[in-house]
Amino acid sequence: MDAIGERRRGPVPLVVTGPLAPYESLVRTELVSRKYAASSVRDAVLMMRRLSLWMERRELVAAGLTPARVEEFLAFRRAVCSSEPVARRSLGAVIKVLRHVSAVPVPVPVEAGGDAVQEVLADYGAYLRGERGLAAESVRCYCGQARKFLAALPDPLADSLARLDAAQVTAFMVRHTADAESVWSAKALVTAVRSLLRYLHVDGRIPASLTGSVPAVAGWRLDSLPRGLELQQVSALLSAPDTETSAGRRDRAVLTVLARLGLRGAEAAALQLSDIDWHAGEIAVRGKGSRVERLPLTAEVGEVLSDYLMEDRPRCSATAVFLTARAPYQALTGTCIRAIMGRACERAGLPRLGAHRLRHTLATAILRAGAPLPEVGQVLRHRSQLSTSIYAKVDHEALRSLAQAWPGGGAR
C-alpha cells in the first residue's frame, strides 16, 4: 500500500522522512508533555509522516505548509481514507506544535478589507468585554446574532454601514424575527442588534443611532409556565451516563451539579478548583453580570465531585473543574455542557432538553416543599424577584387557597 495511506500498529519508530523529519522529536516531546495518550501520539506521528511524504512529492518545504495546503492535504486524505475526522484531529495536534515553534506559517490575522464582517465582530466583541463587562458566553451569543445582521448587508460592508438607514434595519428585523424559532429567539436578536447599532454609532461606522428602528417583539412576562421534569425523569438523566468510563463519570458529575444546585450551563463550565471550599462546605458560582455568589455544597454534589476530581479528572495545569476527556485538556464550554445534556436525554429516552430544564425542576421542587418565593430566588441567584415570580404559577397549594368557589356550589 502507498506509504501515505498505510496502517501501522504498536510503537512508532522515528520514521518521518521529508521536509518535516527534523521536527518529529519536537512534536513527540511536546505532545507527551501535554498529556496526550500514547495511542494519540502514535496517530499524530503517523499523520505527520504521511503529510511529510505528501509534501515531499510536491516539493514543498515546511515554510510552504500554509493553511490552504493543509486543507489540500486533508482533501487528499478524504479521497483515500474514510476516517477524515480522525485524520483532522491528529493533524491538528501536529500543526499546533509546528506553528508554535514557527516551523510552518500561522493563519494570517484578519486585516481591514480581508473579512470585513469578522473584523467588525472582533471589534464589537472587544467592546462587549472591555466596555460592557459581559461574560464570554454572552459575548458569543451577541456576536452570533450580530453576524446575521452584518452578513445581510451588501459588500463593501463599510459603504453599506455608512449608508445604513432605519428602513433597512426595520426590514431586516421584520424578516428575521418572523422566521425565529420562538419569541425568546426573536427577542435575543432584537437585543443583540440594538446593542450592535449602539456600538456602530459610538465607533463612527454608521451616521446616526438607529436603535429606535429596531421593532420590539410582542411577548409578555409570566405568560408561560416553567417546564420542570418529573422526579423519575431527573433520576433517569442522572443515571444515563456510562459510569464505566471516566468521561461518563465526569458527565454524571456535571448533571448532578446542574440538577442539585440549579446552575446554568455556562456557570457549571466556568467552575474553578479554587471555587470549591471543602472545609466550609460551599461552592462559589460566577453568574450573570460577573457576580460571584456562594451556594452550600450538598453531600450528594460533594461526593460526585470528589470522586471525579480524585479518580477521573486529568492531571494537568488547567484550573477548571470539568475538563475534556482527551488531551490537550481544556475547560468544558457551554456548548460541551449542552452536548452532555443532549447525550443524557438520548440515553434516558427523553426528547432533547436544555440544561435550564434542570434549573426549573429544582426551583419547582423547592417551592412545592414549602419554601417561600424569596428563598427560591436566593437559590437561583435572581437579581430581581420578578424573575422568580413565574414559579408562583406552579405552587398549586398556594393557588388553591386563592381559588373562589364556583357559583352555586357545583363542581366544574
356 as an active site residue: the answer is yes
Considering the candidates 69, 205, 356, 368, report the single residue annotated as catalytic: 356
Block residue for cell numbers 450573570: 288
Give residues with Cβ within 8 angstroms of 379, minimum separation 6.
262, 295, 362, 363, 366
Q: To which H or E segment does residue 192 belong? A: helix 183-202
The cell numbers describing 214, all together, are 429596531
313 as an active site residue: the answer is no
42 as an active site residue: the answer is no
Say how far apart CA 9 and CA 210 lie, in whole Å: 63
From the number of C-beta atoms within 10 Å of its C-beta (0-12, 13-18, 19+), residue 271 rates as buried
From the number of C-beta atoms within 10 Å of its C-beta (0-12, 13-18, 19+), residue 93 rates as buried
Give residues with Cβ within 8 angstroms of 188, minimum separation 6.
141, 145
Say how far apart CA 140 and CA 83 lie, in whole Å: 31
Considering the candidates 288, 294, 352, 383, report the single residue annotated as catalytic: 288
308 as an active site residue: the answer is no
8 backbone dihedrals φ, ψ, rounded to 5° = -135, 155
Q: How far is CA 140 from the centre of its chain?
A: 9
296 backbone dihedrals φ, ψ, rounded to 5° = -65, 140
Radius of gyration of the chain (CA): 27
Say how far apart CA 400 and CA 240 lie, in whole Å: 36
Considering the candidates 249, 264, 357, 360, report the single residue annotated as catalytic: 264
Considering the candidates 391, 393, 396, 400, report the single residue annotated as catalytic: 391
Contact between 401 and 235 under an 8 Å Cβ cutoff? The reply is no
CB environment 364-379: b (16+ within 10 A), e (fewer): bbbbeeeeebeebbeb
Considering the candidates 313, 357, 359, 360, report the single residue annotated as catalytic: 359
382 as an active site residue: the answer is yes
Tell me how crowded residue 301 is: count the other CB atoms within 10 A of its CB.
Answer: 19
Give residues with Cβ within 8 angstroms of 348, minimum separation 6.
233, 236, 237, 239, 240
Give residues with Cβ within 8 angstroms of 156, minimum separation 6.
116
393 as an active site residue: the answer is no
Q: To which H or E segment does residue 294 belong? A: strand 292-296
**Which active-site residues does the annotation give?**
264, 288, 356, 359, 382, 391
